[in-house]
Amino acid sequence: MPRRRLPGWSCLLLLGRAFERVIKDNGLRRIRLHDLRHTTGTMLKDLKVSPRDAKEILGHARIAVTMEIYTHGDQEAHREAIERISGKLFGEDASNLRNFGKAPRQTRAQAIFLTGLIIFP
């Protein structure tokens, strides 16, 4: 029995080959075409696109797939989250960790305590 190809399979194959050629011709680091889906998911998260819209854009059936597999955290988002929590717990003066070294000793101690709570639950 002959092997059946999925509809559009040849288009995906051609797209993959064209992508590899662009990478090679421009001296870029080799990545898989599929890696661009992860990049897109993470960029949508960074742009604060709602998870439901990101799910639709990426064509997923469930939001869980989008959030667990296709979006990746980053240090900046983690820092901002810690700053917001610190501001809520200890007041706005403690929320700017960029000036951590210039903060009063008590504020630094509070921020260290908060970070410990987050890292070592």
- The residue extents of the domains of the chain are 9-70, 75-119
Q: In b/e form, how buried is each residue of 63-98, taking b as 16+ CB within 10 angstroms?
A: eeebeeebbeeeeeeeeeebbebbeeebeeebbebe
The predicted pLDDT at position 70 comes to 79
In whole angstroms, what separates CA 61 from the centre of its chain? Answer: 19
Q: How many helices (H) and strands (E) does the chain have?
A: 6, 0
The predicted pLDDT at position 73 comes to 74
Instruction: Give dist(CA 43, CA 10) in Å, integer.
Output: 28
Q: What is the residue-wise DSSP string for 22-72?
A: HHHHTTPPP--TTHHHHHHHHHHHHTT--HHHHHHHHT-S-HHHIIIII--
The predicted pLDDT at position 92 comes to 62
The predicted pLDDT at position 39 comes to 87
Task: Show the low-confidence residues of the chain (pLDDT under 70).
Answer: 1-9, 90-121
